[in-house]
C-alpha cells in the first residue's frame, strides 16, 4: 500500500511537533524515518496509526485521501503499529493476547485461533509458546506476538517504532529477516529508529525529521555522515574514554543465590570498586535482571553475602540499599521508573522528599521551588518538555532523560538497565558524559545493554551472563566485539584462546 503524507501539521500547545511534513512511502518497501529524540517521528506515526488526528494536511492511501480516527480504524484500513513498548496484557497468555483484537466474528473458537497462531509462527520461524504468559517472555518475543497479531488482523502497512531497542542481537536478526520477507510479499514497512546502522542495513529510502520539519530524504546506500548532519547540523564522534584510579570496594557479592519464579542464579560472586564501570552483556533472559535487581536490593537472595561500601546488607530490602547510596534505573520507564500521569515537577517533589530538601518537607509543598528545580534539571539534561509536562506525554528518549535527571544527588552504586535505550547518538554521548562524572566522583556503575559497542566503549570490565549464571568477567582491554559475541553465545574463555590459536 502506497502512503503519502501531504502537508501534515500537528501541535501540542506551543510545541509544533510536525510542521508541514510531506513525503511518500512506496508499496513493498522498507522506508526509514530518523531524527533526534523529540524530532516528531512518533507523533507522525501515531497520526498514521490513528492515535492522534492531524491539525491540518492529508494522509493518502494508494492516492486516496483518508481520515483515520482511531487505532481500530487504522487496522481496518490496513495499518498497524508496533510500539516501542509492546501493547499487550502481561498477566495473560500469548494465545489470549493474540485473540484480544479478534475481528473474525463475535466468537472465534480457540482451536481456530491456535491454528492461525501456529501457522503464522511457522511462516516466520517464530518459536512462541501459545500457553506462556506474556510477562515470562522477552521483549523480542512480545514483538513477534504483536507482528503475528497485526498480520492476522490483515494489516498491509506495518509501522515499527524503535523496534531494536532492548532486544538481543539474535532477536534483531530474526526481526530483520521477518521485515524483509514481509516487504517481498508486498507490504509497506515504516521503520522508525535513531540507530543509523539499523537503517543502513534494512532500508532502501529514508526521511529525516528535525524539530518537526522534514529536512531531507535519502536513497540507499546512505552516507552516515550526511545522515548525522541532517539530524544534528553537525557530525559526532564517540568521546574517548578516560580511566580513573579505582577506590575501595563499593559492592560485594559472595556465593549469592537468587530466585524469582522459575529463574534461579546460584553462586554469584562479584566485587565492584569505587570508580569502576561494569558492563553486563548477554542474551535477554540470561540472568542479567536477576543479578542487577539483587545488587539493588529489589530481590532478596536466598543465601549469600551482599555488602555496600563494606556494610552487610544481606537479606535487606531496597530501602536499606537506597539509604546506603544505591540507585536503580529500570528499563521499563513508565511502569517501574516513572509515574504515568504525573508531571516532571511532581516527580521533582518526590525526589525532594526522598532527599529531605526544603521543597519536599512539611504538610505543604513549595511548588515554586519544585518548578525551579525541575526546570533546572530539564535544562541540564536537555529534556524536551516543561515542568508541567506529564512524563507519558514525552517521547521515549525524553522519558529516559527524565529518569536520569531524577537520580539522587549522592550515589555510591548506580545500577542501570539499558541507560541509553531510545536515545540518539548525540543524546547517548551527552548522557554518558553525565554518568562518567558520577564515576569520577567515586560512584561505581553497573549497566546492561544490548548494544555491544556501548558495552565495549564504556566498561572497565565486561560481565557476561549465560544460562542464569555469571559466565565470565573480562577486562575490556582484553576483549574484542567478536570475542564478546562468542561469550554471549556460551563459549568459555578457554574456547576463545583455542579459537585464537
The residues spanned by each domain of the chain are: 3-232, 239-336+408-501, 339-405
The CA–CA distances, whole Å, from 29 to 151, 180, 188, 219, 302 equal: 17, 9, 5, 12, 52
Give SS3 for 145.
helix
Using the 8-state DSSP alphabet, how is residue 358 labeled?
G
Is residue 259 within 8 A of residue 312, CB to CB? The reply is no
46 sits in which H/E element: helix 41-48
Residues paired with residue 277 on neighbouring β-strands, in sequence order: 445
The CA–CA distances, whole Å, from 462 to 185, 246, 449 equal: 41, 16, 11
User: Which residues make Cβ contacts (< 8 Å) with residue 150, sequence separation at least 6?
Assistant: 75, 80, 82, 158
CATH of domain 239-336+408-501: 3.40.50.300
> 162-196 in b/e burial notation, b at 16+ Cβ within 10 A?
bbbbbbbbebbebbbebbeebbeeebbbbbbbbbb
Residue 78 and residue 74: Cα distance in Å, rounded? Answer: 6
Per-residue pLDDT tens digits of the chain, which is 501 residues long: 899 999 999 998 878 999 999 999 999 999 999 988 778 998 999 999 999 999 999 999 999 999 999 999 999 999 999 887 777 887 889 998 898 866 555 556 788 889 999 999 998 888 899 999 888 887 778 888 989 999 998 899 999 988 887 676 777 888 899 999 999 999 999 999 878 888 999 999 999 998 899 999 999 999 888 888 888 776 555 556 778 899 999 999 999 999 988 889 999 999 999 999 999 998 777 899 999 999 999 999 999 999 999 999 999 999 999 999 999 998 888 888 899 899 999 999 888 887 776 655 556 788 888 899 999 999 999 898 899 999 988 887 888 889 999 998 889 999 999 898 777 777 888 889 889 999 999 999 999 988 888 899 999 999 999 889 999 999 999 988 888 878 887 887 777 666 555
The pLDDT value recorded for residue 187 is 93
For 243-292, the DSSP string reads P----SEEEEEEEEEEEETTEEEEEEEEEEETT-EEEEE-STTSSHHHHH
Residue 419 and residue 457: Cα distance in Å, rounded? Answer: 14
Q: Which of 328, 342, 437 is nearest to 385 (CA)?
A: 342
User: Which residues make Cβ contacts (< 8 Å) with residue 17, sequence separation at least 6?
Assistant: 10, 11, 40, 43, 212
Residue 445 and residue 417: Cα distance in Å, rounded? Answer: 11
71 sits in which H/E element: helix 71-76
Is residue 230 within 8 A of residue 426, CB to CB? The reply is no
Residue 438 and residue 412: Cα distance in Å, rounded? Answer: 9
User: Which residues make Cβ contacts (< 8 Å) with residue 59, sequence separation at least 6?
Assistant: 3, 4, 5, 6, 8, 47, 48, 65, 66, 68
Residue 5 and residue 26: Cα distance in Å, rounded? Answer: 12
Tell me which residue has cell 584510579: 245
User: Which residues make Cβ contacts (< 8 Å) with residue 501, sequence separation at least 6?
Assistant: none
Residue 11 and residue 8: Cα distance in Å, rounded? Answer: 10
Q: In this structure, which CATH number among 3.40.50.300, 3.20.20.140, 3.40.50.720, 3.90.1150.10 belongs to the domain 3-232?
A: 3.40.50.300
Question: Which residue intervals of 125-255 are DSSP H helices?
Answer: 139-152, 169-184, 196-202, 224-232
Q: Is the peptide bond before 35 cis (omega within 30 degrees of 0)?
A: no
> Are 3-232 and 239-336+408-501 in the same CATH fold?
yes
Amino acid at each position: 500500500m502506497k502512503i503519502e503524507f501531504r502537508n501534515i501539521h500537528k501541535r501540542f500547545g506551543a510545541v509544533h511537533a510536525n510542521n508541514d511534513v510531506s513525503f511518500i512511502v512506496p508499496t513493498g518497501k522498507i522506508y526509514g524515518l530518523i531524527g533526534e529524540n523529540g524530532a516528531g517521528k512518533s507523533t507522525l506515526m501515531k497520526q498514521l496509526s490513528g492515535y492522534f488526528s492531524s491539525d491540518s494536511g492529508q494522509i493518502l492511501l494508494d492516492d486516496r485521501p483518508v481520515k483515520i480516527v482511531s487505532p481500530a480504524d487504522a487496522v481496518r484500513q490496513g495499518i498497524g503499529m508496533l510500539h516501542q513498548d509492546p501493547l499487550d496484557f502481561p498477566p495473560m497468555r500469548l494465545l489470549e493476547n493474540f485473540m484480544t483484537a479478534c475481528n473474525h466474528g463475535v466468537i472465534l473458537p480457540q482451536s481456530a485461533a491456535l491454528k492461525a497462531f501456529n501457522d503464522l509462527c511457522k511462516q516466520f520461524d517464530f518459536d512462541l509458546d501459545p500457553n506462556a504468559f506474556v510477562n515470562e517472555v522477552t521483549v523480542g518475543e512480545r514483538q513477534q506476538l504483536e507482528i503475528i497479531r497485526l498480520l492476522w488482523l490483515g494489516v498491509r502497512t506495518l509501522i515499527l517504532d524503535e523496534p531494536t531497542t532492548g532486544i538481543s542481537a539474535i532477536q534483531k536478526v530474526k526481526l530483520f529477516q521477518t521485515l524483509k520477507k514481509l516487504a517481498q510479499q508486498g507490504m509497506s514497512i515504516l521503520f522508525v529508529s535513531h540507530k543509523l546502522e539499523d537503517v543502513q542495513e534494512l532500508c532502501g529510502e529514508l526521511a529525516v525529521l528535525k524539530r518537526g520539519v522534514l529536512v531531507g530524504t535519502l536513497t540507499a546506500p546512505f552516507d552516515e555522515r550526511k545522515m548525522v548532519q541532517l539530524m544534528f547540523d553537525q557530525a559526532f564522534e564517540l568521546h574517548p574514554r578516560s580511566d580513573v584510579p579505582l577506590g575501595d570496594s563499593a559492592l560485594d557479592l559472595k556465593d549469592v543465590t537468587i530466585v524469582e519464579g522459575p529463574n534461579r542464579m546460584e553462586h554469584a560472586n562479584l566485587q565492584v570498586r569505587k570508580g569502576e564501570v561494569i558492563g553486563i552483556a548477554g542474551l535477554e533472559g540470561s540472568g542479567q535482571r536477576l543479578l542487577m535487581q539483587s545488587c539493588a536490593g529489589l530481590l532478596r537472595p536466598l543465601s549469600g553475602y551482599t555488602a555496600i561500601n563494606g556494610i552487610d546488607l544481606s537479606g535487606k530490602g531496597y530501602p536499606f540499599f537506597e539509604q546506603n547510596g544505591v540507585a536503580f534505573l529500570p528499563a521499563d520507564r513508565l511502569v517501574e521508573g516513572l509515574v504515568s500521569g504525573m508531571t516532571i515537577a511532581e516527580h521533582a517533589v518526590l525526589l525532594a522528599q526522598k532527599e529531605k530538601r526544603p521543597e519536599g518537607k512539611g504538610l505543604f509543598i513549595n511548588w515554586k521551588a519544585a518548578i525551579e528545580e525541575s526546570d533546572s534539571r530539564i535544562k541540564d539534561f536537555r529534556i524536551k518538555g516543561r515542568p508541567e509536562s506529564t512524563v507519558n506525554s514525552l517521547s521515549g528518549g525524553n522519558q529516559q532523560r527524565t529518569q536520569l535527571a531524577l537520580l539522587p544527588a549522592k550515589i555510591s552504586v548506580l545500577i542501570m538497565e539499558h541507560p541509553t535505550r531510545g536515545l540518539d547518538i548525540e543524546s547517548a554521548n551527552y548522557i554518558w558524559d553525565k554518568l562518567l562524572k558520577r564515576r569520577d566522583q567515586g560512584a561505581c556503575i553497573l549497566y546492561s545493554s544490548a548494544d555491544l559497542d556501548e558495552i565495549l566503549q564504556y566498561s572497565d570490565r565486561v560481565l557476561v551472563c549465560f544460562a542464569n549464571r555469571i559466565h565470565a568477567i573480562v577486562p575490556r582491554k582484553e576483549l574484542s566485539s567478536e570475542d564478546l559475541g562468542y561469550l554471549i553465545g556460551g563459549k568459555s574463555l578457554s574456547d576463545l584462546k583455542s579459537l585464537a590459536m
